[in-house]
Structure 1
Amino acid sequence: MMQRQQRLRQSRSPAWDNLPSTALVIIFSKSSLKDRIYNLPLVCKSWANTSHHPHCWVSFTVAPPVDAFVKSSPAFLDPFDGRRSTDPQIGIHAFQSLISKAAGGSALTSLYFYPFLTSLDGPSNDDTLLKLIATSCPNLKNLSFHGSFNASEEVLFQVVRSCPNLELVDFSDSPYFIPAILQEMEIHCPNIRGIRRNGFVQPFLSSTLIKCFPGLKLLNLSDSSIGDRDLLTLVTGNSRLEYLDIMRCQSLMLYMHIIKGAHRRIAEIHYD
């Protein structure tokens, strides 16, 4: 009788270690990077084995929605809780370790590398991290430069030329949103469909955006310095734009008149 009750209890308990590997991979991919690194592999042996599957590491953010790179960026979870070292090698080694988990980088499609950057008190490691992306991540689709300030133009060109599948790019809190980089992306990244930019936007850069990315659908310029003239150029010159965010853009004065006409063609516009 006791043996029968024990078998019944066992049959009712959740067999986490018996979940199929495909289900576990989905669980991993929908979890934060911090959980994937420190917690999930410790659940049981089968979960530890699953953590070696490259598809668990296709994104350094919580999988989907991938549009977060444009619509919600830079609201990504820092797996290291802001514990950034002044030693640039620590971030580089951590980045290399995660790339190795993603089939040496070939499986990686989405990443932001802010947590791997050295602290402001240490020497910069931006170029080294970007070179790792250029040499190891040819299938990258979504990339956030958020928090990077010290990369050289040469290395930025190397990334753009090595990642032809880029679709969503986040330029938040970085100085890389300039015509030279955008023009290089026009040549080598034909699939760009979404861009995020806060902070300073060069006057008349809207013309460059329209020319370089005729297929642009998602544009987030919230908290940027864009003015009325450039906004008008964007909404009248881009026929495919579906999403536009201009929240908290202090340089806009006549935007309500511009937005009123743009609503006929742009499905989703955020403004205040």
Structure 2
Amino acid sequence: MIKTFTKNQENLMEQEWDSLPNAALVNIFCKISIKDRIFSTPFVCKSWFQASKHPGCWSSMVSESYFKNSSDYSFVKDSHPFQCSFIDPFEGKYRGSFISGFNAFKEVCGRAKDGVFITSVYVAPFVSCGGGTQGNDDAILDFIAQNCPNLKHLSFHGSSNASEEAILKVIQNCTKLELVDFSNSPYFCYSVLEKLSISCPNLRGIRRNGYVEPSFASALNELFPCLQLLNLSNSTISDKDLLTLVNVFKRPLYLDIRHCSHLLYYMHIIKVASSCANNIEIIYD
């Protein structure tokens, strides 16, 4: 049976949506993609337009639905090294230009009270393509360091032109960082991790896809005693390092090792982990 609505009922439904308080609308808008927050919700009606101007709508560059545990959805679920779970609101059209990409980033941050409300940043949609030209990575990171003191989640995914100085400046200034994504970027090195461990005491999750240095597991254990999430999917982690992680991490750890082609005996190592009392949850193929 198809239910039909009278014109008065339809008007009433429209009025109910239109009359939702700002706080409720802001809460709803945070759960949708930033692309919809930019190009859809502000144009529905006047009340939605007003609500969309609230800085809280722009605090995160991914929808809140991604961060609903399962260890923060493995720090945004998609683990493929050449994709980003963040939906690019500009569909790539800014990536070829230093200025336009940087200005687009500043525009989004401007809606979050010039970055003060920002808690989650993905730089990939805003960095200009590398090639033989200088990228805008340093400019974006410098802006983050100066304007986003409440940043908790940072993804370097897709960035490859930043200087170590710019990276360390972000880490030094954004001391509330909890989750850092180094996937598809060259910044996963000891000096950066060491600074991260000193400046960001609340860090609880690291994601790394791609190449990892041999014997990096001992360094992680040394630098991050409170680490809770480690996403190494699509990385070059070896059996030796996986065994080290299983043996030395004596606290609960959510470990993602899907699509790691260098692992040969991981099933045996997982059995070793399951027999230990260190509560390591391993996600594997």
TM-score w.r.t. structure 1 length?
0.93
Partner secondary structure for residue 96 of structure 2: coil
Greater CA deviation, 171-180 or 66-75?
66-75
Whole-Å separation in 1 of the counterparts to 2:53 and 2:237 = 45
Q: Which of 56, 70, 80 is the equivalent residue of 2:75?
A: 70
CA gap 1:151/1:9 in 2 versus in 1, 3 angstroms: closer
Q: Which of 118, 123, 148 is the equivalent residue of 2:128?
A: 118
Greater CA deviation, 236-245 or 25-34?
236-245
CA contact (8 A) 1:86 1:123 kept: no
Matched, 1:81 2:91: yes
Partner secondary structure for residue 195 of structure 1: strand
CA gap 1:258/1:89 in 2 versus in 1, 3 angstroms: same
Q: 1:120, CA displacement in angstroms?
A: 3.6
Q: 1:266, CA displacement in angstroms?
A: 3.3
CA contact (8 A) 2:66 2:77 kept: no
Matched, 1:11 2:15: no
Indicate the residue corresponding to 1:266 in structure 2.
279
1:42-81 Cα deviation digits (max 9, x unpaired): 0011111111111101101111333246251432211112
Indicate the residue corresponding to 1:173 in structure 2.
184
Partner secondary structure for residue 114 of structure 2: helix
1:90-126 Cα deviation digits (max 9, x unpaired): 0111111111111111111011010001124553000
Letter in structure 2 aligned against 1:259: I
Whole-Å separation in 1 of the counterparts to 2:13 and 2:66 = 34
What is the CA RMSD across the aligned residues, in angstroms?
1.8
CA contact (8 A) 1:244 1:266 kept: no
CA contact (8 A) 1:168 1:195 kept: yes
- Specify every segment of 5 or more residues in structure 2 that has no aligned partner in the other structure, as ranges: 1-5, 79-83
CA contact (8 A) 1:207 1:234 kept: yes
Indicate the residue corresponding to 1:138 in structure 2.
149
Q: Which of 238, 251, 269 is the equivalent residue of 1:240?
A: 251
Q: 1:145, CA displacement in angstroms?
A: 0.4
Whole-Å separation in 1 of the counterparts to 2:10 and 2:241 = 67
Indicate the residue corresponding to 2:3 in structure 1.
none
Q: 1:16, CA displacement in angstroms?
A: 2.0
Whole-Å separation in 2 of the counterparts to 1:219 and 1:6 = 54
Whole-Å separation in 2 of the counterparts to 1:53 and 1:233 = 47
Whole-Å separation in 2 of the counterparts to 1:189 and 1:85 = 30
Moved over 4 A (4+): 5-9
Indicate the residue corresponding to 2:223 in structure 1.
212
Whole-Å separation in 2 of the counterparts to 1:46 and 1:81 = 27
CA contact (8 A) 1:71 1:220 kept: no
Q: 1:270, CA displacement in angstroms?
A: 1.4
TM-score w.r.t. structure 2 length?
0.89
Partner secondary structure for residue 214 of structure 2: coil
Greater CA deviation, 110-119 or 252-261?
252-261
